[in-house]
Protein backbone atom coordinates (compact mmCIF):
# COMPACT_ATOMS: atom_id res chain seq x y z
CA UNK A 1 0.00 0.00 0.00
CA UNK A 2 3.07 2.24 -0.24
CA UNK A 3 1.54 4.30 -3.07
CA UNK A 4 -1.99 4.52 -1.68
CA UNK A 5 -2.91 8.09 -0.85
CA UNK A 6 -3.57 8.00 2.90
CA UNK A 7 -1.97 4.76 4.04
CA UNK A 8 0.93 5.35 1.62
CA UNK A 9 1.73 8.71 3.22
CA UNK A 10 1.55 7.04 6.63
CA UNK A 11 4.01 4.30 5.58
CA UNK A 12 6.39 6.65 3.75
CA UNK A 13 6.79 8.65 6.95
CA UNK A 14 6.57 5.98 9.65
CA UNK A 15 8.93 3.40 8.16
CA UNK A 16 12.06 5.63 7.92
CA UNK A 17 11.50 6.82 11.50
CA UNK A 18 11.01 3.25 12.68
CA UNK A 19 14.17 2.08 10.93
CA UNK A 20 16.22 4.81 12.61
CA UNK A 21 15.42 3.28 16.00
CA UNK A 22 17.18 0.00 15.01
CA UNK A 23 15.33 -1.98 17.67
CA UNK A 24 13.86 -4.55 15.29
CA UNK A 25 15.07 -6.39 12.25
CA UNK A 26 12.39 -5.28 9.81
CA UNK A 27 11.03 -7.33 6.93
CA UNK A 28 8.45 -5.70 4.69
CA UNK A 29 5.90 -7.28 2.35
CA UNK A 30 5.33 -5.35 -0.85
CA UNK A 31 6.07 -4.79 -4.50
CA UNK A 32 9.87 -4.81 -4.70
CA UNK A 33 9.92 -2.52 -7.76
CA UNK A 34 7.75 0.11 -6.10
CA UNK A 35 9.71 -0.03 -2.85
CA UNK A 36 13.05 0.38 -4.63
CA UNK A 37 12.17 4.06 -5.21
CA UNK A 38 12.63 4.73 -1.50
CA UNK A 39 16.20 4.88 -0.17
CA UNK A 40 15.20 3.56 3.23
CA UNK A 41 13.99 0.29 1.65
CA UNK A 42 17.63 -0.71 1.17
CA UNK A 43 17.90 -1.07 4.95
CA UNK A 44 15.42 -3.90 5.19
CA UNK A 45 14.49 -7.23 3.70
CA UNK A 46 11.70 -7.09 1.13
CA UNK A 47 9.47 -10.07 0.42
CA UNK A 48 7.84 -9.54 -2.96
CA UNK A 49 4.03 -9.41 -2.77
CA UNK A 50 2.19 -8.11 -5.82
CA UNK A 51 -1.37 -9.30 -5.20
CA UNK A 52 -4.06 -6.60 -5.41
CA UNK A 53 -5.04 -5.19 -2.02
CA UNK A 54 -8.40 -6.35 -0.60
CA UNK A 55 -8.28 -9.48 -2.78
CA UNK A 56 -8.49 -13.21 -2.06
CA UNK A 57 -5.12 -13.55 -3.79
CA UNK A 58 -3.68 -11.09 -1.26
CA UNK A 59 -4.74 -13.35 1.60
CA UNK A 60 -3.10 -16.42 0.06
CA UNK A 61 0.12 -14.55 -0.76
CA UNK A 62 0.34 -13.14 2.76
CA UNK A 63 -0.26 -16.58 4.26
CA UNK A 64 2.50 -18.13 2.17
CA UNK A 65 5.08 -15.35 2.55
CA UNK A 66 4.90 -14.20 6.16
CA UNK A 67 7.90 -15.73 7.89
CA UNK A 68 8.16 -16.39 11.59
CA UNK A 69 8.30 -13.04 13.34
CA UNK A 70 8.04 -11.66 16.84
CA UNK A 71 5.21 -9.36 15.82
CA UNK A 72 3.41 -8.54 12.56
CA UNK A 73 2.31 -4.93 12.01
CA UNK A 74 -0.51 -4.37 9.53
CA UNK A 75 -0.76 -0.64 8.61
CA UNK A 76 -4.38 -1.04 7.44
CA UNK A 77 -7.39 -3.19 8.21
CA UNK A 78 -6.71 -5.73 5.42
CA UNK A 79 -4.98 -8.01 7.91
CA UNK A 80 -3.59 -11.49 7.06
CA UNK A 81 -6.48 -13.67 8.18
CA UNK A 82 -4.46 -16.88 8.26
CA UNK A 83 -1.65 -15.45 10.40
CA UNK A 84 -1.64 -16.89 13.91
CA UNK A 85 1.12 -14.86 15.59
CA UNK A 86 1.17 -11.60 17.49
CA UNK A 87 -0.56 -8.83 15.56
CA UNK A 88 -0.65 -5.02 15.72
CA UNK A 89 -3.06 -3.21 13.37
CA UNK A 90 -3.42 0.47 12.46
CA UNK A 91 -6.97 1.64 11.70
CA UNK A 92 -7.19 4.99 9.93
CA UNK A 93 -10.97 5.23 9.60
CA UNK A 94 -14.07 3.09 9.26
CA UNK A 95 -15.50 4.97 6.30
CA UNK A 96 -16.65 1.72 4.63
CA UNK A 97 -18.88 1.01 7.61
CA UNK A 98 -19.94 4.56 8.47
CA UNK A 99 -20.81 5.70 4.92
CA UNK A 100 -22.13 2.59 3.14
CA UNK A 101 -24.08 4.78 0.70
CA UNK A 102 -20.78 5.70 -0.96
CA UNK A 103 -19.53 2.10 -1.25
CA UNK A 104 -20.44 0.40 -4.51
CA UNK A 105 -21.13 -3.31 -4.40
CA UNK A 106 -22.38 -5.54 -1.60
CA UNK A 107 -19.11 -7.50 -1.76
CA UNK A 108 -17.10 -4.42 -0.68
CA UNK A 109 -19.43 -3.73 2.22
CA UNK A 110 -19.33 -7.37 3.30
CA UNK A 111 -15.52 -7.46 3.02
CA UNK A 112 -15.18 -4.38 5.26
CA UNK A 113 -17.58 -5.78 7.83
CA UNK A 114 -15.76 -9.13 7.99
CA UNK A 115 -12.29 -7.59 8.12
CA UNK A 116 -13.05 -5.04 10.83
CA UNK A 117 -14.64 -7.80 12.92
CA UNK A 118 -11.49 -9.88 12.40
CA UNK A 119 -9.30 -6.95 13.46
CA UNK A 120 -11.22 -6.62 16.71
CA UNK A 121 -10.94 -10.37 17.35
CA UNK A 122 -7.39 -11.17 16.19
CA UNK A 123 -5.28 -8.09 16.96
CA UNK A 124 -3.26 -7.91 20.16
CA UNK A 125 -3.25 -4.11 19.87
CA UNK A 126 -5.20 -1.79 17.58
CA UNK A 127 -3.76 1.65 16.83
CA UNK A 128 -6.26 4.35 15.90
CA UNK A 129 -5.11 7.67 14.43
CA UNK A 130 -7.65 9.71 16.43
CA UNK A 131 -10.08 9.37 19.31
CA UNK A 132 -12.85 9.77 16.76
CA UNK A 133 -11.65 6.71 14.82
CA UNK A 134 -11.50 4.72 18.06
CA UNK A 135 -15.08 5.69 18.91
CA UNK A 136 -16.28 4.87 15.39
CA UNK A 137 -14.54 1.48 15.44
CA UNK A 138 -16.28 0.59 18.69
CA UNK A 139 -19.58 1.94 17.38
CA UNK A 140 -19.60 -0.20 14.23
CA UNK A 141 -18.07 -3.39 15.65
CA UNK A 142 -18.52 -5.45 18.79
CA UNK A 143 -17.83 -3.11 21.69
CA UNK A 144 -15.75 -5.68 23.56
CA UNK A 145 -11.95 -5.49 23.55
CA UNK A 146 -11.89 -1.68 23.80
CA UNK A 147 -8.83 -2.04 26.02
CA UNK A 148 -6.85 -3.18 22.96
CA UNK A 149 -7.13 0.24 21.34
CA UNK A 150 -4.34 2.85 21.59
CA UNK A 151 -4.41 6.35 20.07
CA UNK A 152 -1.35 7.34 18.03
CA UNK A 153 -1.84 10.53 16.04
CA UNK A 154 -0.31 10.99 12.60
CA UNK A 155 2.50 13.49 12.12
CA UNK A 156 3.44 16.21 9.66
CA UNK A 157 6.42 15.76 7.37
CA UNK A 158 9.23 18.21 8.19
CA UNK A 159 9.43 19.14 4.51
CA UNK A 160 6.21 21.17 4.90
CA UNK A 161 7.93 23.61 7.27
CA UNK A 162 9.98 26.52 5.93
CA UNK A 163 9.03 25.98 2.29
CA UNK A 164 10.48 28.42 -0.24
CA UNK A 165 8.13 29.88 -2.80
CA UNK A 166 8.90 29.26 -6.44
CA UNK A 167 6.85 30.48 -9.40
CA UNK A 168 3.15 30.14 -8.66
CA UNK A 169 1.58 27.10 -10.34
CA UNK A 170 -1.59 29.17 -10.97
CA UNK A 171 -1.63 32.61 -12.54
CA UNK A 172 -4.54 34.12 -10.55
CA UNK A 173 -5.51 34.28 -6.86
CA UNK A 174 -6.86 30.90 -5.78
CA UNK A 175 -7.81 28.64 -2.92
CA UNK A 176 -6.95 24.96 -2.99
CA UNK A 177 -8.69 21.70 -2.13
CA UNK A 178 -6.42 18.68 -1.73
CA UNK A 179 -7.16 14.98 -1.72
CA UNK A 180 -8.62 12.11 -3.66
CA UNK A 181 -11.78 13.29 -5.36
CA UNK A 182 -14.06 10.81 -3.60
CA UNK A 183 -17.72 11.24 -2.58
CA UNK A 184 -17.04 11.80 1.13
CA UNK A 185 -14.71 14.69 0.21
CA UNK A 186 -17.95 16.60 -0.51
CA UNK A 187 -16.95 18.15 -3.83
CA UNK A 188 -20.58 18.65 -4.88
CA UNK A 189 -21.43 20.95 -1.97
CA UNK A 190 -18.09 22.72 -2.29
CA UNK A 191 -18.89 23.54 -5.92
CA UNK A 192 -22.39 24.72 -4.96
CA UNK A 193 -20.88 26.95 -2.27
CA UNK A 194 -18.36 28.40 -4.72
CA UNK A 195 -21.16 29.24 -7.17
CA UNK A 196 -22.86 31.33 -4.49
CA UNK A 197 -19.84 33.53 -3.74
CA UNK A 198 -17.64 33.35 -6.84
CA UNK A 199 -18.73 36.80 -8.01
CA UNK A 200 -17.80 38.30 -4.63
CA UNK A 201 -14.22 37.03 -4.44
CA UNK A 202 -11.41 37.06 -7.02
CA UNK A 203 -10.26 33.52 -6.29
CA UNK A 204 -10.27 30.54 -8.58
CA UNK A 205 -10.82 27.10 -7.07
CA UNK A 206 -8.00 24.61 -7.68
CA UNK A 207 -8.61 20.94 -6.92
CA UNK A 208 -5.42 18.91 -6.59
CA UNK A 209 -6.77 15.60 -7.83
CA UNK A 210 -8.25 13.92 -10.87
CA UNK A 211 -11.79 14.84 -11.83
CA UNK A 212 -12.06 11.37 -13.31
CA UNK A 213 -11.36 10.00 -9.85
CA UNK A 214 -14.82 11.03 -8.67
CA UNK A 215 -16.24 7.55 -8.28
CA UNK A 216 -19.75 8.14 -6.95
CA UNK A 217 -21.25 8.03 -10.41
CA UNK A 218 -22.98 11.35 -9.76
CA UNK A 219 -22.68 12.91 -13.19
CA UNK A 220 -24.29 16.12 -11.94
CA UNK A 221 -21.16 16.85 -9.90
CA UNK A 222 -18.95 16.51 -12.96
CA UNK A 223 -21.40 18.71 -14.89
CA UNK A 224 -21.15 21.40 -12.19
CA UNK A 225 -17.38 21.38 -12.43
CA UNK A 226 -17.49 21.58 -16.21
CA UNK A 227 -19.84 24.59 -16.11
CA UNK A 228 -17.34 26.36 -13.87
CA UNK A 229 -14.26 25.46 -15.90
CA UNK A 230 -13.18 29.11 -16.21
CA UNK A 231 -12.93 29.32 -12.41
CA UNK A 232 -12.47 25.69 -11.30
CA UNK A 233 -9.30 23.78 -12.21
CA UNK A 234 -8.36 20.15 -11.65
CA UNK A 235 -4.62 19.61 -11.60
CA UNK A 236 -4.69 15.87 -12.19
CA UNK A 237 -1.89 13.94 -10.50
CA UNK A 238 1.01 16.13 -9.36
CA UNK A 239 4.18 15.13 -7.54
CA UNK A 240 4.84 16.12 -3.96
CA UNK A 241 6.94 19.18 -4.76
CA UNK A 242 4.26 20.64 -7.06
CA UNK A 243 1.57 19.90 -4.46
CA UNK A 244 3.54 21.86 -1.88
CA UNK A 245 3.78 24.87 -4.21
CA UNK A 246 0.01 24.82 -4.79
CA UNK A 247 -0.64 24.87 -1.03
CA UNK A 248 2.11 27.42 -0.35
CA UNK A 249 0.78 29.86 -2.99
CA UNK A 250 -2.91 29.36 -2.15
CA UNK A 251 -4.66 32.07 -0.14
CA UNK A 252 -6.25 29.28 1.90
CA UNK A 253 -7.12 25.57 1.81
CA UNK A 254 -10.70 24.26 1.90
CA UNK A 255 -11.49 20.70 3.06
CA UNK A 256 -15.25 20.34 3.74
CA UNK A 257 -15.10 16.53 4.12
CA UNK A 258 -18.08 14.62 5.41
CA UNK A 259 -15.79 12.06 7.01
CA UNK A 260 -12.10 11.84 7.94
CA UNK A 261 -10.32 9.52 10.31
CA UNK A 262 -7.62 12.13 10.88
CA UNK A 263 -7.28 14.74 8.13
CA UNK A 264 -3.66 15.34 7.16
CA UNK A 265 -4.00 18.05 4.43
CA UNK A 266 -5.15 20.75 6.90
CA UNK A 267 -2.11 20.15 9.12
CA UNK A 268 0.23 20.19 6.12
CA UNK A 269 -1.28 23.51 5.05
CA UNK A 270 -0.88 24.89 8.56
CA UNK A 271 2.80 23.88 8.55
CA UNK A 272 3.52 26.14 5.57
CA UNK A 273 1.39 29.07 6.74
CA UNK A 274 -1.71 28.46 4.62
CA UNK A 275 -5.01 29.24 6.46
CA UNK A 276 -7.57 26.40 6.58
CA UNK A 277 -11.33 26.17 6.16
CA UNK A 278 -12.55 22.72 7.14
CA UNK A 279 -15.48 20.76 8.53
CA UNK A 280 -16.80 20.85 12.06
CA UNK A 281 -16.87 17.05 12.11
CA UNK A 282 -15.43 15.40 15.26
CA UNK A 283 -12.08 14.26 13.84
CA UNK A 284 -11.27 17.60 12.20
CA UNK A 285 -12.25 19.48 15.36
CA UNK A 286 -10.04 17.09 17.33
CA UNK A 287 -7.03 17.51 15.05
CA UNK A 288 -7.30 21.17 13.99
CA UNK A 289 -8.81 22.75 17.09
CA UNK A 290 -9.13 26.55 16.88
CA UNK A 291 -6.39 26.76 14.26
CA UNK A 292 -8.91 26.28 11.42
CA UNK A 293 -12.20 27.96 10.46
CA UNK A 294 -14.83 25.24 10.83
CA UNK A 295 -18.00 24.95 8.74
CA UNK A 296 -20.95 22.56 8.58
CA UNK A 297 -20.11 20.28 5.62
CA UNK A 298 -23.78 19.44 5.04
CA UNK A 299 -24.79 23.12 4.76
CA UNK A 300 -23.85 24.84 1.48
CA UNK A 301 -24.42 28.29 2.99
CA UNK A 302 -22.06 27.48 5.87
CA UNK A 303 -19.34 26.39 3.44
CA UNK A 304 -19.89 29.48 1.27
CA UNK A 305 -19.80 31.80 4.27
CA UNK A 306 -16.61 30.18 5.53
CA UNK A 307 -14.86 30.62 2.18
CA UNK A 308 -16.01 34.23 1.88
CA UNK A 309 -15.02 35.06 5.46
CA UNK A 310 -11.47 33.71 5.16
CA UNK A 311 -11.06 35.14 1.65
CA UNK A 312 -11.94 38.67 2.74
CA UNK A 313 -10.93 38.99 6.42
CA UNK A 314 -7.18 39.59 6.71
CA UNK A 315 -7.31 39.76 10.51
CA UNK A 316 -8.95 36.33 10.63
CA UNK A 317 -6.30 34.91 8.32
CA UNK A 318 -3.52 36.26 10.52
CA UNK A 319 -5.21 34.74 13.58
CA UNK A 320 -5.55 31.33 11.91
CA UNK A 321 -1.92 31.37 10.76
CA UNK A 322 -0.75 32.24 14.27
CA UNK A 323 -2.83 29.52 15.93
CA UNK A 324 -1.77 27.00 13.26
CA UNK A 325 1.93 27.62 13.90
CA UNK A 326 1.39 26.44 17.48
CA UNK A 327 -1.08 23.65 16.73
CA UNK A 328 1.02 21.89 14.11
CA UNK A 329 3.96 21.39 16.50
CA UNK A 330 1.82 18.87 18.38
CA UNK A 331 2.13 16.35 15.55
CA UNK A 332 5.38 14.72 14.42
CA UNK A 333 6.15 11.43 12.69
CA UNK A 334 9.12 10.89 15.01
CA UNK A 335 6.79 10.99 18.02
CA UNK A 336 4.29 8.72 16.25
CA UNK A 337 7.01 6.20 15.33
CA UNK A 338 8.36 6.16 18.88
CA UNK A 339 4.90 5.40 20.24
CA UNK A 340 4.45 2.65 17.63
CA UNK A 341 7.83 1.18 18.55
CA UNK A 342 6.87 1.04 22.21
CA UNK A 343 3.69 -0.84 21.32
CA UNK A 344 5.56 -3.30 19.08
CA UNK A 345 8.12 -3.98 21.84
CA UNK A 346 5.37 -4.54 24.40
CA UNK A 347 3.48 -6.98 22.17
CA UNK A 348 6.63 -8.81 21.04
CA UNK A 349 7.76 -9.34 24.63
CA UNK A 350 4.44 -10.67 25.94
The string of pLDDT tens digits covering residues 136-181 is 999 999 777 889 999 999 999 999 999 999 999 999 999 999 976 6
C-alpha–C-alpha distance, residues 112 and 96, integer Å = 6
Residue 209: predicted pLDDT: 76
Q: Kindly state the helix (H) or strand (E) to which residue 108 belongs, with its residue range.
A: helix 106-122
The string of pLDDT tens digits covering residues 197-206 is 999 999 999 9
C-alpha–C-alpha distance, residues 11 and 171, integer Å = 34
* Poorest-pLDDT segment among 2-11, 199-208, 324-333: 2-11
* Poorest-pLDDT segment among 228-232, 248-252, 280-284: 228-232
Q: Judging by DSSP bridges, how do beta strands 232-234 and 204-208 pair with one another?
A: parallel
Residue 211: predicted pLDDT: 64
CA-based Rg of the chain, rounded to a whole angstrom?
Answer: 21
Query: Between 232 and 22, where is the model more confident?
Result: 232
Angle between helices 187-197 and 219-227 (to 10 degrees): 30
C-alpha–C-alpha distance, residues 42 and 23, integer Å = 17
- Structural domains of the chain, with CATH: 5-155+332-348 (3.40.50.2000), 158-330 (3.40.50.2000)
Least Cα distance to 13 among 180, 216, 153, 181 occurs for 153
C-alpha–C-alpha distance, residues 73 and 39, integer Å = 21
C-alpha–C-alpha distance, residues 39 and 52, integer Å = 24
Least Cα distance to 207 among 161, 9, 7, 229 occurs for 229
The string of pLDDT tens digits covering residues 72-90 is 999 999 999 999 999 999 9
Q: Which residues sit opposite 108 in a β-bridge?
A: none
pLDDT beyond 70 at 213? no
Mean pLDDT, the chain, integer? 92
C-alpha–C-alpha distance, residues 61 and 59, integer Å = 6
**Confidence bin at 122 (pLDDT 50/70/90):** very high
Mean pLDDT of 264-283: 96
Sign of the Cα pseudo-torsion (160, 166, 170, 174, in order): positive
pLDDT beyond 90 at 325? yes
Q: What backbone torsions phi and psi does residue 319 show, to the nearest 5 degrees? A: -60, -45
pLDDT beyond 50 at 215? no
Are the beta carbons of 85 and 69 closer than 8 angstroms? yes
Instruction: Write out the E strands in the chain.
Output: 27-30, 45-48, 72-74, 87-91, 125-128, 149-151, 174-178, 204-208, 232-234, 253-255, 276-279, 293-295
Are the beta carbons of 213 and 182 closer than 8 angstroms? yes
DSSP assigned state of 213:
G
Q: What backbone torsions phi and psi does residue 118 show, to the nearest 5 degrees? A: -65, -40
Are the beta carbons of 174 and 245 closer than 8 angstroms? no
Helices (H), ranges, 228-274: 240-249, 264-271
Are the beta carbons of 348 and 88 closer than 8 angstroms? no
Amino acid sequence: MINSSGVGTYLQNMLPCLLEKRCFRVTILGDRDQLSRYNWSKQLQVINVTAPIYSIKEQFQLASKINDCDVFWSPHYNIPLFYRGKLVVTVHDVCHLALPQFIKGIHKKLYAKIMFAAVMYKADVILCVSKFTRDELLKFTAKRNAEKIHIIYNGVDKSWFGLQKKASPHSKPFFVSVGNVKPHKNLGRLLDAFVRIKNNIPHDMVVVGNKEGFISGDKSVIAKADRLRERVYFTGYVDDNVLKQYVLHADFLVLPSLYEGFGLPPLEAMACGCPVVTSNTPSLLEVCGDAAYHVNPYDVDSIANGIYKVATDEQLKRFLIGEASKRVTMFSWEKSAQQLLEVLKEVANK
